[in-house]
Amino acid sequence: MESASIPVPHGHAEEDHHHGPPEAHQSARIDRSILGILLFILSEVMLFAAFFAAYFFLRVVVNPDTWPPEGIHLPVLIAFINTVVLVSSSFTVHYALEAIKHDNRRGLKLGLGLTWLLGATFLFIQINEYLHVGFSARDGAFGSIFYSLTGLHGAHVFVGLLLLTFANIRAWRGHFGPEQKNHLGVEVPGIYWHFVDIMWIIVFVAVYVV
Amino acid sequence: MGNPLTSEVAAFRWLVVILIGAASVALLSRIFGSIFAIWYGLALIFILIGFIAKGMVYMLGSPESDSTSEDESESDSTSENVDEVSERVEAESDVDGPPPGR
């Protein structure tokens, strides 16, 4: 049976004729799902950068001598415990991904489940901290920027938990596999979760430690 | 360390690096004071941004960079697709005979 394609002169295939053109996204060197989440994360980095700029402006330029204001004591130990909890969750999500790469479904479920629990614990402790910290967002510039920065991060943790919820449900339903294209549903939330962790490390050091 | 924006594994490695960097910022704030630590931390962040920017430029690719010798060793799906199309066209041309008008 003869081919229905249009013949093309030898040696001029690329110049003269597009026969089965490559997919539009193929200029990028990574999978489009990964590229999508990374571009999203870069936009999120800019959002956080705006909040950090406001924080450091208030701290270094406006109030260089009295920061935090007198009478305000941040619960550094509790925040440190929260940091340990959140950083641990990055290790568990990494474990989950490594597990599915080796076709270990039990490890995948365990890792994703632990990650979700640790993330929820972080959020619970942070809400509890808000209830007992002793100042509100109305109490001056410090209160405003403290709640803005930590609240923005908390919102991202919440979104990350939603993504992990879907990943957990899919894992329990038997989705995902060792091949890269089959575990993007774990890898993409994992990248997002690492971003959330990295942001918290910076928030913790900037607000509670330095 | 490489590009932090290629995969979960790369991002995880950078998380560990940032953890170490944060610990150094905390240590320097105790030794030299807050302002010094803030500037030191900002410098570390700008270094990280440099890595990310470099990684993004490579990752997004472009027709120009695809044809340079620097990228020849890297796997490139675009050029692979072009090669595949060329091979298919040549194979079909062999079967069908010379094109009309030649």
What are the residue boundaries of the structural domains of chain A, listed by start?
26-209
Query: pLDDT per residue over A186-199, tens digit each?
Result: 998 999 999 999 99
The beta-carbon contacts of A128-136 under 8 Å, at least 24 apart in sequence, are A129/A75, A129/A78, A129/A79, A129/A82, A132/A75, A133/A74, A133/A75, A134/A72, A134/A73, A135/A72
For chain B, how big is the Rg over CA atoms in Å?
A: 24
Residue in B3, B7, B8 to test binding to A, most A beta-carbons within 10 Å: B8
CB contact under 8 A, A94 and B58: no
For residue B77, give the nearest of A21, A26, A194 by CB distance: A26
ipTM greater than 0.90, yes or no? no
How many helices and strands (H and E) does chain A possess?
6, 0
- The CA distance from A11 to B100, in Å, is 16
- For A123-171, write each residue's pLDDT tens digit: 999 999 999 998 888 888 899 999 999 999 999 999 999 999 999 999 9
Q: Write the DSSP assignment of A141-202 as a string of letters.
A: HHHHHHHHHHHHHHHHHHHHHHHHHHHHHHHHTT---SSGGGSHHHHHHHHHHHHHHHHHHH
Convert the pLDDT of each residue in B60-69 to its tens digit.
666 565 554 4
Q: Whole-angstrom Cα distance, residue B22 to residue A200?
A: 11
Q: What pLDDT, on a 0 to 100 scale, did the predictor assign at position B1?
A: 62
Q: By percentage, how much of chain A surpasses pLDDT 70?
A: 86
Residue with tokens 């990028």: A28
Q: Does B9 touch chain A (CB under 8 A)?
A: yes
Give the pLDDT band (50/70/90) at residue A116. Answer: very high
Residue A195, Cβ density class (10 Å: 0-12 exposed, 13-18 middle, ≥19 buried) = buried
Supply the mean pLDDT for chain A. 86
Q: Widest CA span of chain B, in angstroms?
A: 82
CATH numeric code, A26-209: 1.20.120.80
Please report, rounded to a whole number, the percentage of residues in chain A having pLDDT higher than 90: 59
**Dist CA B7 CA A186 (whole Å):** 11
pLDDT of residue A13: 45
* Chain A: residue whose CA lies nearest to B101: A9
B52: left (phi over 0), alpha (psi -120 to 50) or beta: alpha
Query: Is B59 an 8 Å CB contact of chain A?
Result: yes
What is the per-residue pLDDT for A3? 44
CA of residue B42 relative to chain centroid, distance: 23
Q: Which of A20-29, A149-158, A168-177 has the lowest mean pLDDT?
A: A20-29
The residues of chain B scoring below 50 in pLDDT are 68-74, 101-102
Nearest C-alpha of chain A: how many angstroms from B93? 6
The answer to whether the Cβ–Cβ distance between A201 and B22 falls below 8 Å is yes
